Structure 1
Amino acid sequence: MLQFKTLELDDKEVFMKYLGDYDFNTYEYSFLNLYLWRKYCNVEYTILEDSLIIKKTEESKGTVFMQPIGYSEENLEAIISKLLEYKEKKGGMKFLFSDIEEPFLKKLKEKYGDAVQYYEDVKNFDYIYEADKLIKLNGDKLRKRKSQYNHFVSSYAYNVKDIHEDKVIKDCIDFSQEWFNGQSGNHQLECEVEGIKDILYNLKDLNGLGMAVYVNNVITGFTIGEIVNKNMAIIHIEKGDISYNGIYAFINRTFAELYLKDIVYINREEDIGIPGLRRAKLAYDPIKLEKKFIVDIRRELQ
């Protein structure tokens, strides 16, 4: 039976060997993202047929595999066979794969036909934006966001600091903990706060980017992202004190302007089925929603 190793920071070199120039349209396969959520999702991995196999466990889906990374036409069937064997022996796995993008789904359908069962994971579709639009905020659809940004700029004595400074890192950790204390606590949010601490302490090793916003020298929000290839950046964390009107519009635009002006697309992740979050993400006029799929393969139909 396959043996899996718990994801740790020292595993980054292994992951980068297989990820290389990030070839995904969604954020799920980013090492920074996997490290951020490694405790909540119990992220583990193994090497099978010289391919990287990532396994995680989510409350809504149970234990699932992500797309094998580094597979070839010659070894894909052998990989799938071993993963199906693991699923059967382990028991309790409802699905084989999650976080599957359309190209890999197409590949599976070509090889396995009707044995492939798949579902659109709608609440986990990624919101993709044009970086230039998030910086300029031009057009009727973004008028309200621009007004919020302008309100913040004209109303507060603010300054912006890079997140790599030791004092800023401490401020961000304290801010995220205070933010968590103000929420209706749950395991996911608790793990998120712990993950934020971990990535802030190791931001350089993770190639993360970030900034914090201060008003009258008091931190009011921060954001963390990364550039995964020449075309796409991902925003992983965005926290703000909503008592400062326009804080999120300011963080969104300023981070893109200062750090991502040479990037074509910005991935702002999913809405996880929360109506308010969906409205907020749609309000920034995404160029597309990148689909993700939950997939199973039924042996009896192969």
Structure 2
Amino acid sequence: MIQFITPQLSDRERVDAYFLPSGYRCCEYAFTNIFAWRDAFREKIGECAGYLTVRCNDSRYFWPAGQGDIRPMLRALEEDAASLGNRLSLYSLTEGEKERLEGLFPGKFDYTLVRDGFDYCYDINRLADLTGKKLHAKRNHIHRFEEHYPGWTTEEIGPHNLQECIALNEDWEAAAAAAGHEDWNAQEGCEALRRCLYHQQELGLEGLALRGNGKLVAFTMGKSLGGDTYDVFFEKAYADIQGAYPMINREFARWVRAHHPEIVYLNREDDMGEENLRKAKLSYHPDLLLEKYVAELKEGAAL
């Protein structure tokens, strides 16, 4: 029987050893996300036969990352699911993983696209340069910011400004609650961000902060997924400051491009089914909408 444990900071290197070489672009395959959201989704990690997976809410498993024959791992997950009274359910399968699973176990699974979980990936040069007619509105918002804050600056996130980032996150959460917009996603998102800020160095997170008139008005954090894709985990700004969001977006894209020349895509993660978030992400016209499937073992089927 596969053993599952709650991920701790000490598990980072072990998990990265599976995730980073995998080439997976999905945001699920980042230790930071697993650690940050572990309480919200009751996430636990488990290893078997050269593969590692994450179990969520005792009901669903990430498509495993690793090397070699994956069938022993999938059968171990089938056994674990059965012990919890469930049929095996695998999440975060791209088209390639879906085809691989179907090739291994033809006709055993039902597949469902999960639109709320699609990742929005953007060519890093487009976000860094904001060229073209489609991004004209973003450039206008940035111009407004530059007009109001002609002495704006950016700086890397570290011990010297961490408390200011924490304060901005708390201000954002309070403003969302006052406006009646603090739903479960917002609450858990702020808590996940808090965990990342408190453990920035241990998680190896990179980040950039934006100042206007000396005040920290926006910040963002991310990390490479190990291949050609960089995951932007969080982005926060004061909503009443016009242009703060597109400004920190552009500046971080430029920072990543300068520090990670191998990066082709910025993964700005999914929209969790939130209408406003989906509208905002679509407004940047993603170059790659990373589709994800859930694969459910058919009733009566066995691996």
TM-score scaled to structure 1, two decimals? 0.91
Distance 1:194 1:55, change over 3 A: same
> What is aligned with 1:158?
152
The answer to whether structure 1 residue 285 and structure 2 residue 285 are counterparts is yes
Give how far 1:53 is off: 2.4
> What is aligned with 1:174?
167
Matches within 5 A, 1:66-105: 66-73=62-69, 76-91=70-85, 93=86, 96-105=89-98
| Of 204-213 and 133-142, the range deviating more from structure 2 | 204-213
Native 8 Å contact 2:25 2:225 kept in 1:
no
Matches within 5 A, 1:1-302: 1-57=1-57, 63-73=59-69, 76-91=70-85, 93=86, 96-156=89-149, 157-164=151-158, 166-183=159-176, 184-261=181-258, 262=261, 263-298=263-298, 300-301=300-301
Q: Tell me, in whole angstroms, the C-alpha distance in 2 between the residues paired with 1:282 and 1:297.
A: 33
Q: Tell me, in whole angstroms, the C-alpha distance in 2 between the residues paired with 1:230 and 1:7.
A: 23
Distance 1:3 1:22, change over 3 A: closer
Q: Tell me, in whole angstroms, the C-alpha distance in 1 between the residues paired with 2:18 and 2:207.
A: 25
Q: Tell me, in whole angstroms, the C-alpha distance in 1 between the residues paired with 2:14 and 2:277.
A: 34
Q: Tell me, in whole angstroms, the C-alpha distance in 2 between the residues paired with 1:71 and 1:139.
A: 42
Identity %: 25
Matched position secondary structure for 2:105: helix
Q: Which runs of 5+ in 1 are unaligned?
A: none
Native 8 Å contact 2:78 2:88 kept in 1:
no
Q: Tell me, in whole angstroms, the C-alpha distance in 2 between the residues paired with 1:171 and 1:234.
A: 23
Q: Letter of the 1:131 partner, please give it.
A: I
Q: Letter of the 2:113 partner, please give it.
A: E
Matched position secondary structure for 2:106: helix
Matched position secondary structure for 2:286: coil
Q: Tell me, in whole angstroms, the C-alpha distance in 1 between the residues paired with 2:238 and 2:72.
A: 50
Large movers: runs of 4+ above 6 Å: none
Give how far 1:15 is off: 0.7
Q: Tell me, in whole angstroms, the C-alpha distance in 1 between the residues paired with 2:68 and 2:21.
A: 17
Number of equivalent positions? 294
Give how far 1:20 is off: 3.5
Distance 1:35 1:251, change over 3 A: same
Q: Tell me, in whole angstroms, the C-alpha distance in 2 between the residues paired with 1:217 and 1:94.
A: 55
Matched position secondary structure for 1:21: helix
Give how far 1:180 is off: 1.1
Give how far 1:192 is off: 2.4
Q: Letter of the 1:216 partner, please give it.
A: N
Native 8 Å contact 1:222 1:240 kept in 2:
yes
Matched position secondary structure for 1:260: helix
